[in-house]
């Protein structure tokens, strides 16, 4: 049998219908590339210059209320706008169309220094409730067909403000990855008479090779087809299509899973671990989507230390995704953290 942890091989990603090259032997190569700066020192609980702290003025002059838990507002510099006129242009080669949408910001806590990784489970449960509430509100807008909840943590991931916050974008169209996952989830259900992620979660729980954390209602795994070094997939263990379907105990379980993963991230290299995360859930197009299973992708860039990250360049941009550390090794390191 081939030693998958030592030799080059490729793994299939059934969600995005692509192959991932795994080269675990490359961790032995010397590194003379970029070494990033260490994260900024510990922040104060309140920053009078922060656009997101309670009571402060934002960049456009609007003032935040003195919020005490979570706080959501329309993004002052939104990438999508709700009042774009309908327009189409071009043919099969040069084609464009207008895109309506809404973007909101969600502050996770009034405290400037309280990242999700440092929050208690009840505090994260408040964030889960806010995610579900915002999803329900934005899904019901008349022009919306897809809602994406996400967070960029850390300057390395392009976060423009260190205050703990995420965003929710609602599109009139269905974004590329959601469209691909819809197609693949539907295809698997049609061919196998079961949900792809239900089957995958059950297999991972049985094998225990890539499980980072689990409880009665949720699990965290490094996916078999992971691209990023410490990539993780967070899933409810019961089939449901969107975050607003989670009941009370299931929301508590999701909060516990998020806390378990993010706190482990910070312990891997003893740093505020940067990542981009996002929930993928069923399209809000009014159609039935029995194939859909809610899940969150966590995509952190760190590879060897707090200051050495993986870059998606060259081969990754021009051929296919590639990773150096085996997913099984990454899962074990996270579980041990």
CA-derived radius of gyration, the chain: 20
Sign for the pseudo-dihedral over CA of 144, 154, 69, 220 = positive
Q: Are 277 and 257 in contact (CB under 8 A)?
A: no
In three-state secondary structure terms, 245 is helix
**Terminal alpha carbon distance of the chain:** 30
Confidence of residue 39 (pLDDT cuts 50, 70, 90): low
Say which CATH class 43-85+97-336 falls into. Answer: alpha beta
Predicted local distance difference test score (pLDDT) of residue 158: 87
Mean pLDDT of 2-7: 70
User: What is the arithmetic mean of pLDDT over 279-287?
Assistant: 96
Answer yes or no: 165 catalytic: yes
- Structural domain spans, the chain: 43-85+97-336
Non-local CB neighbours of 149 within 8 Å, separated by 6+ positions: 131, 134, 135, 166, 167, 168, 243, 278, 279
By percentage, how much of the chain surpasses pLDDT 70? 94
**Per the residue annotation, which of 112, 163, 165, 280 is the catalytic one?**
165
| Pairing, β 18-22 against β 322-323 | parallel
User: What span, in angstroms and rounded, lies between the C-alpha atoms of 84 and 23?
Assistant: 46
Selection from 198, 228, 242, 187 nearest residue 14 by Cα: 187
CA separation for the pair 287, 277 (Å, rounded): 26
Could you read off the pLDDT of 58-95 as tens digits, one per residue?
Answer: 989 999 999 999 999 999 999 999 999 989 998 889 99
Q: Which two tokens stand for residue 282?
A: 């069923």
- Determine the pLDDT at residue 249: 97
Overall average pLDDT of the 201-209 stretch: 97
């Amino acid at each position: 049998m081939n030693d998958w942890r030592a030799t080059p091989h490729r793994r299939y990603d059934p969600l995005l219908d692509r192959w991932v090259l795994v080269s675990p032997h490359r961790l032995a190569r010397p590194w003379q590339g970029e070494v990033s700066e260490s994260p900024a020192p510990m922040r104060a609980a309140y920053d009078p210059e922060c656009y997101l702290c309670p009571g402060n003025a934002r960049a456009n002059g609007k003032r935040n209320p003195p919020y005490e838990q979570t706080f959501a507002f329309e993004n002052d510099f939104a990438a999508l706008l709700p009042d774009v006129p309908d327009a189409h242009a071009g043919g099969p080669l040069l084609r464009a169309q207008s895109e309506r949408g809404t973007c909101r910001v969600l502050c996770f806590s009034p405290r400037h220094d309280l990242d999700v990784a440092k929050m208690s489970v009840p505090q994260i449960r408040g964030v889960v409730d806010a995610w579900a509430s915002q999803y329900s509100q934005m899904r019901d807008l008349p022009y919306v067909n897809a809602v994406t909840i996400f967070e960029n943590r850390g300057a390395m991931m392009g976060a423009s403000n260190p205050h703990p916050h995420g965003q929710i974008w609602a599109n009139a169209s269905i974004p590329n990855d959601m469209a691909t996952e819809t197609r693949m989830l539907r295809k698997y259900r049609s061919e196998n008479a079961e949900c792809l992620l239900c089957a995958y979660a059950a297999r991972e729980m049985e094998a225990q090779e890539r499980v980072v954390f689990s409880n009665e209602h949720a699990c965290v795994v490094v996916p078999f087809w992971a691209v990023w070094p410490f990539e993780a997939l967070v899933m409810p263990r019961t089939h449901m299509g969107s975050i607003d379907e989670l009941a009370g105990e299931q929301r508590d379980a999701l909060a516990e899973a998020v806390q378990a993963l993010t706190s482990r991230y910070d312990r891997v290299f003893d740093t505020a671990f940067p990542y981009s995360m996002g929930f993928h859930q069923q399209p809000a197009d009014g159609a039935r989507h029995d194939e859909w299973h809610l899940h969150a992708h966590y995509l952190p860039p760190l590879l060897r230390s707090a200051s050495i990250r993986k870059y998606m360049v060259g081969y990754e941009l021009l051929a296919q995704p590639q990773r150096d550390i085996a997913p099984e090794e990454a899962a074990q390191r996270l579980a041990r953290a």
